[in-house]
A and B are shown apart, each in its own frame.
Chain A
Amino acid sequence: MTSADRLLEVSAISKRFGGVQAVRDLSFDMARGEVLGLIGPNGAGKTTVFHLLSGFLAPDGGSIHFEGRPIVGLKPHAICRLGLARTFQIVRPFPHLSVLENVRVGALARRPGMADARSRARAVIEQVGLGPKADHAAAGLTLAERKRLELARALATEPTLLLLDEVMAGLNPTEIEAIVSLVRSINRAGVSILLIEHNMRAVMTLSHRIAVLSFGEKLVEGEPSRVANHPRVIEAYLGEEYVHPSAG
């Protein structure tokens, strides 16, 4: 990978919360246009990695470069303006505002004029399939709609890299299928995507590469098919006896 293709370079970042080493010496790269899946058991440190990348937490050590620029120490809003946007695992819509007003806040990041931001917001709302709900208050949306809203708001900031934190959790299979094709179309439009997801089928179909985290460390990184059958991955998820059935 030449440095021109390299969108994100994470090298040796760590984060400790008291006695818990949430992320340990984690390094990985992302190429432009790539979809990288970040998987691992609960508590592996995936969301902490998102907080570190988006500036909501500062790493104890290590460096993060986005488009060749160091971003450790920047505030979340500054990182967003550089083109790295995120969603929250627990969605945080502005409850009293309409869907359109919610998404407009994101669009204003690149389009300071209200009318311009509004039309950008409308387009994104159509893109994620929330068109009929544009004027509804966010508080009244279903979970599936809130996940779409969360995605739409981040997308409205016109990112080059989008961090999606479990946008499919809690959705039914039909809804998941719809989000998978939405994420794919966003990626085809040129947005790179870093995906935290527990739904394996979705991660396997969407990701070009997958990185597996366990107890804050990277176990394996590679193509989906290789990662899925890797003994250390199976061990991390299911326990040692599944790797060596004869021993158990």
Chain B
Amino acid sequence: MKWLVAAAVVVLLALPAVLNSYAVTVFIFIFFYAFLGQAWNIVGGYAGQLSAGHAAFVGIGAYASALLSVQAGLTPWIGMLVGGVLSAALGTVVGYLGFRFGLRGFYFVLLTVAFAEVCRIVALNTDAVGGALGYYITFTGNPRQFQFQDNRAYYYVALGLMLVATAVVAGIERRRFGAYLIAIREDESACEALGVDTFRYKMLAMVVSSFLTGVGGTFYAFYLFSLQPNAVFGIPLSVEIVIRPIVGGAGTVLGPILGSFILSPLAEAARVYFGQGGWSGVHLIAYGLLLIAVVLFLPQGAYPALRRLWIRTSA
């Protein structure tokens, strides 16, 4: 398994040498959404607290580093950490409200959606951040400003983000923190009886998850160069973040990556083939069908199913 992962990383590092610019773009989306899915995986997959408002953290991180860069000249390489901290602060508030008052299941989903929607509406109505017109970053191509002439640089940054988040998740899984999160997902009351401070660990999961997601906001901002409240804070982005780990296997280290390799090309293909002529929503229908299929046939996601297959064939 270790060698397989190492080989995959080497292949991904070498790949831009043979890919055309369009294929590189597809991979950037795969990596970036895998990164966001991995960040969500900590609180949604391992701890089982279904946040459906993670777009809020992307948006906070994106606006923070964009504003700091344009208005105050702060390099986004530092701005991305500031964005992460601000997102973690919001995550703390959402987590506190949800976990202190025992909101479970759908109630927690609604709480997280509500916070993301509030962020979206505030951004829409705040002229200082561009309001409904959006916020634009002038392209300079200066790497110090997190801007690159060459698409392949974005490829490596996105790959790096994905690998770092994956390493964080793998590290969590190996420690008491991870064992506790999984147990919390299984049965919170039983955890409390066994000495697990469930509130504290759920909060920690939320903080780490929202921090990483907020860091991702900087990539979003400086890859697209424009921030639209409806896109960066919107429910569709939250869904994009959630759906990859669920399809790939929530609560597993490789699930979000696998999910992104399945779904991101699918979304891209749907965009290319159905993007014009009033067919632009087709990829959402495909998502819906795929999600139904996954829930019916692979309720734990693709990765656990693949693993079972692998164990069976190698035995």
Contact = CB atoms under 8 A, between A and B. Distances in A.
A104 B187 CA distance: 15
8 contacts: A85-B195, A86-B193, A88-B193, A94-B183, A97-B183, A108-B195, A109-B196, A157-B195
Interface residues of B, number: 19
Interface of B is mostly: helix
Contacts of A105: 179-180, 183, 191, 194, 196
Contacts of B187: 92-94
Interface-centre pick from A78, A92, A101, A156 (highest chain B CB count, 10 A): A92
A85 B192 CA distance: 10
A108 B176 contact: yes
B107 to A, nearest CB: 21
A78 to B, nearest CB: 8
A96 interface: yes
Given A105-B180, A112-B176, A154 B192 contact: no
Interface of B: 174-176, 179-180, 182-183, 186-187, 189-198
Interface string A81-97: 10001111000111111
Contact of A101 (B179, B192, B193, B195): B179
Contacts of B192: 55-56, 75-77, 80
A54 interface: yes
B186 A94 contact: yes
A114 B193 contact: no
Contacts of B186: 94-97
A56 B176 contact: no
Interface of A: 54-56, 75-78, 80-81, 85-88, 92-97, 101, 104-106, 108-109, 112-114, 117, 153-154, 156-157
Contacts of B189: 56, 76, 88, 92
A77 B198 contact: yes
A48 to B, nearest CB: 15
